[in-house]
Chains A and B, each alone.
Chain A
Amino acid sequence: MSATERSGDAPGHTADDVADLIPMVRRIVYSRVGSHPSAEDLVQETLTRVLSAASTVEPGMLEPYAIVTARNVVSSLWRDIDRKNRNQHRLVDLSAPEPPEKQVVLEEEQSAMAAALARLDERERRALLDHEVDGADTHALAARHGTTAGAVAAQLNRTRARLRVEYLLAIEHVDPPTDRCRPVLIALSSGDQRRQREVQAAQHLLECEPCARLSQPLLERGQQRNDCLRIPVSSDADIVSARRAARELATRLAFGATDLTVIATAVSEVCRNIVRFAGSGEVVVELLEAPTRGIQIVARDGGPGITDVDRALGDGFSTYGGLGLGLPGVRRLMDEFAIASEPGHGTTVTMTKWEGTDHERPT
């Protein structure tokens, strides 16, 4: 620490005069900042400033000049610290760095979406893009194509359903193995029950593994309907959850305790047949509004099927050890009962219980 460097023969003060001020400057600085680690730096800073100005400071004024400079330097230190404290939080980057795989996934999704869009036909794609990207509303589109807003909306819904299917096919790199796959998936995607029945969607899903897999996200989308439950059945425990779910759904209608038990028992029986003979399948429980309120249960499997349905429905026939009372008993429990079975292609049991036709005990 020395300010002994001579600043030549300036008219005002010399470096020696400045050096004389060192004890005073140090006292001023230390009295203000105490043992702050940068105290000595502040002293040096002050002396440098005083020294550089020494030649222009009027005689006798060097001491006051040094005092003021010391104060300024100290207060600018406090200001700096203060500013740093205030702004420190801005320097912290709280957002996690983007994982590299995210970009890859994003690119994959984009290319799948591009591929899906490319598979739509020109008119559909135009309408969808105009609506979704350019924000043209259905009325404007209707006017452009000389049709009604409702028709445009319906067309857009169909296009979106197709787009969902094409997107799934593209991102999973699946080539539909049969001609039936696409219509089935589109019917599922649009949630159109009539169309699903026409293309026998449920049956197809049991036979076609890729479709069964691809249909998962499509069906989950459709699960917003809360009057219809789809329960996969492949184990003992599933039998219990299926009958519990059916009972729960049935309690929403005016079924009595007896009918609830009847329904649960019927579900239990048909599920057991699935587990025993087909290994796995599904049960769809649906509340019906027409012709009257009721509950419909469809149990479906892709198992070996029943060669002789009439015999299976006769009391006393069973292919597994037991009482031979599976299906005929269930038929007696329900109001409607139909069974369709094709050897090698599985069995579908459809049964219905109508509300209010109960054989409730007179209590």
Chain B
Amino acid sequence: MNGGPALVSIMRQGSTLIASVHTALNDSELVRFEHDLVDQIGEHRSRGVIIDVAALDVIDSFAALTLRRIADMARLRGAQTVLVGIQPEVAFTMVRLGMGTGAVPTALDLEEGLALLAEQGSHHPRPDEPEA
């Protein structure tokens, strides 16, 4: 994003965008991630977005809020968002903090996330792509 190793990678698979966060992000990095992702949803005409947050050791109020905002914006742009990979400690802390993911659907991992999108008809695999 700003030189150095990528903090986040956003990949396209069929009509789904898979965004993996690689390391702890600070607030401005989170906001930049939000903008990048929303831009790419339009660019790739994506129908589904998977955000993998397994590498986040802390999801505090700001991070949770940003993730929810991303999902809201994605929905307005016609894409369904699934959060995957929330660590058990992080889940516990989010609950105690009183901070959920709101209406954003979650799944245990990437595979479950893709399955969830497929169920909801948001994921259209390409013909040459093996069915999940």
Report which A residues bind B (CB closer than 8 A): 236-237, 239-240, 243-244, 247, 257-258, 260-262, 264-265, 268-269, 272, 315, 322-323, 325-326, 328-330, 332-333, 359, 361
Q: What are 24 A-B pairs with beta-carbon distances under 8 A?
A: A236-B26, A237-B26, A240-B26, A257-B89, A258-B92, A260-B89, A261-B57, A261-B58, A261-B87, A261-B89, A261-B90, A261-B92, A262-B92, A262-B96, A264-B58, A268-B62, A269-B97, A272-B60, A322-B62, A322-B65, A329-B61, A329-B97, A333-B93, A361-B88
- A325-B98, A361-B88 are contacts. A265–B93 as well, Cβ < 8 Å? yes
CB distance from A183 to the nearest CB of B (A): 38
B2 at the interface (CB under 8 A from A): no
A residues in contact with B96, CB < 8 Å = 262, 329, 332-333, 359
Please tell me if the beta carbons of A329 and B28 are within 8 angstroms of each other in the complex: no
0 or 1 for each of B6-35: is its CB under 8 Å from A? (1 = yes): 000000000000000000111111000000
Closest Cβ neighbor of A271 among chain B residues: B60
State whether A361 touches B92 (Cβ < 8 A): yes
CB distance from A330 to the nearest CB of B (A): 7
B62 touching A272, Cβ below 8 Å? yes
Inter-chain contact count A-B, CB under 8 Å?
Answer: 77
Once the chains are docked, how many angstroms separate the CA of A260 from the CA of B98?
A: 18
Known: A269-B60, A323-B99; 5 extra A-B contacts, CB below 8 A, are A236-B26, A236-B29, A260-B89, A322-B61, A326-B61
The chain B residues found within 8 Å of chain A, CB to CB, are 24-29, 57-62, 64-65, 87-90, 92-93, 96-99
Residues on B with beta carbons closer than 8 Å to the beta carbon of A272: 27, 60-62
Interface residue from B25, B28, B61, B88 paired with A325 (Cβ < 8 Å): B61
Instruction: Identify the interface centre among A240, A261, A329: most chain B CB within 10 Å of its CB.
Output: A261
Are B98 and A236 neighbours in the complex by a CB distance under 8 Å? no
B64 contacts across to A, CB distance below 8 A: 323
**B93 close to A261 (CB less than 8 A):** yes
Whether the pair A269, B61 counts as a contact (CB closer than 8 A) is: yes
The complex places the Cα of A21 from the Cα of B41 at a distance, in Å, of: 108
Q: Complex: how many Å from CA A322 to CA B98?
A: 13
